[in-house]
Chain A
Amino acid sequence: MRASVLVRPKDGILDPQGDAVRQSLRKLGFDVSSARVGRVVDLDVDADGADEARSQIERMCTELLANPLIESFEIRLEE
Chain B
Amino acid sequence: MTDKPVVAVVVFPGSNDDHDAAWALGAVGAEPELVWHADAELPPETAAVVLPGGFSYGDYLRTGAIASLAPLMAAVREFAVRGGPVLGICNGFQILCEARLLPGVLRPNRQLEFVCRDATVRVDNAASVFLRRCVSGQELVIPVKHGDGAWYADGGTFVQLAARGQIVLRYTEDVNGALGNVAGVVNEAGNVMGLMPHPEHAVDPLLGSADGGLLLAGLVDAASAHRALIAA
Contact = CB atoms under 8 A, between A and B. Distances in A.
Interface of A: 13-14, 16-17, 20, 64-65, 67, 69-70
A49 B126 CA distance: 55
B135 interface: no
Contacts of A70: 105, 107, 152
B19 interface: no
A47 B33 CA distance: 44
Contacts of B104: 69
A36 to B, nearest CB: 13
Nearest to A12: B154
Closest 9 CB pairs of A and B: A16-B112, A69-B105, A16-B110, A16-B108, A20-B112, A67-B105, A70-B105, A67-B62, A17-B108
B69 interface: yes
A65 B62 CA distance: 9
19 contacts: A13-B107, A13-B152, A14-B110, A14-B150, A16-B109, A16-B111, A16-B112, A16-B177, A17-B108, A17-B112, A64-B65, A65-B61, A67-B65, A67-B105, A69-B104, A69-B105, A69-B152, A70-B105, A70-B107
B153 interface: yes
Given A13-B152, A14-B110, 10 more contacts: A14-B107, A16-B109, A64-B61, A64-B65, A69-B104, A69-B105, A69-B152, A69-B153, A69-B154, A70-B107
Contacts of B150: 14
Interface string B65-108: 10001000000000000000000000000000010000011011
Contact residues on B (Cβ < 8 Å of other chain), bracket: 10 to 19
B105 A64 contact: no
A59 B65 CA distance: 15
A70 B154 CA distance: 9
A5 B62 CA distance: 15
Nearest to A17: B108
Interface in B32-85: 61-62, 65, 69
Contacts of B109: 16
A68 B201 CA distance: 33
A17 B104 CA distance: 20
Nearest to B111: A16
A20 B112 CA distance: 8
Interface in B104-124: 104-105, 107-112
A11 to B, nearest CB: 12
A17 B112 CA distance: 7
A1 to B, nearest CB: 22
Contacts of B105: 67, 69-70
Contacts of B153: 69
A47 B154 CA distance: 35
Nearest to B64: A67
Contacts of A64: 61, 65, 69
A50 B112 CA distance: 40
